[in-house]
Amino acid sequence: MNVFLAAVFSLPLVPVFLPGDKYDPTTLVFPPFLHVWVQKATATHLKLYTKNSVKVNNPQGVAATRLDSWEDPKRAEDDDELTVYGVNAGYNMIIYNTSKSAIAFYGLNESGERRLKQPNGIAAHRNGDVYVADTGNNRVVHFFNPGKELKFVRSLNEFNAPRDVAVSSDQTLYIADTGNNRIAVYRNNQLVNSWNANGDLSHPTGIAVTEASDSWSYYKDAFVIVIDQNQQRLQKFSPEGQLLAGKS
């Protein structure tokens, strides 16, 4: 989960003070970009940056996307700027970056319907949609990030301890509904399909999807990858749920 903290590192600011004044520095500043040797941030850097208010505990899913709202067609320099989300499950929290040098948190002060419980998988779309498998609450939570802030949208319910989610380029959501031994498929927050490989799917815990329209796809294939059987089996399905290949 510390991948998205790579740009986060701080150094003490040396202040100007008069003779007799107490030296009591309290400010941290960013070093010049690319002028620092830290290439991979750690939990220590996270605690430093957040004044020890956030710690890493049971990190789970990670998702990354290039937000459309960050796109400036006049600047090619920003094309590699990603938004990365990490699930800090032990604290029911999502950590994400709002720029190349700033991070934010969802879950510090949320309560009621907006509070997560044992979240696991996470998926993000370039339009700003973010989905989290909120395992302990038996639901999937839909968030939206307009660019700088993760906002609660709604809950998708009727699941049993879902462990993972994936979203395709056409905004179709695939949910590993672990306790119900099935894959649930949603569009526009509405259930459009549900499949369990003719009853052979067993406690799916991981899922990924690719679309033929994905710009990086050389073969233009569309398929869904599912991990099940206590993380001992990997299977390939069509988007409609037809088994294409499997290995255990």
Residue 125 reports pLDDT greater than 60: yes
**H helices present in 7-160, as ranges:** 43-49
pLDDT at 102: 81
pLDDT at 219: 74
Q: Span 226-232, mean pLDDT?
A: 92
| Domain limits, the chain | 57-247
pLDDT at 30: 47
Token output for 84? 């990365």
For 39-69, what is each residue's pLDDT tens digit?
Answer: 566 777 777 777 777 888 899 999 999 888 8
CATH classification of 57-247, choosing from 3.30.930.10, 2.60.40.10, 2.120.10.30, 3.30.70.120? 2.120.10.30
Q: For residues 213 and 170, what is the distance between their CA atoms, to the nearest angstrom?
A: 8
Q: For residues 227 and 164, what is the distance between their CA atoms, to the nearest angstrom?
A: 10
Residue 25 reports pLDDT greater than 80: no
Per-residue confidence band for 8, with pLDDT thresholds at 50, 70 and 90 = very low
Cβ neighbourhood burial of 183 (10 Å; 0-12, 13-18, 19+):
buried
3-class DSSP state for residue 137?
helix
For 127-182, what is each residue's pLDDT tens digit?
Answer: 999 999 999 999 999 999 998 899 999 999 999 999 999 999 999 999 999 999 99
Which of these, 127, 232, 131, 210, lies nearest to 176 by C-alpha position?
131
Token output for 99? 């720029």
Give the full edge-to-edge strand order of the sheet including 173-177: 164-167, 173-177, 182-187, 190-195
Residue 72 reports pLDDT greater than 90: no
CA distances from 238 to 144, 190, 207, 209, 210 (A): 28, 20, 13, 10, 10
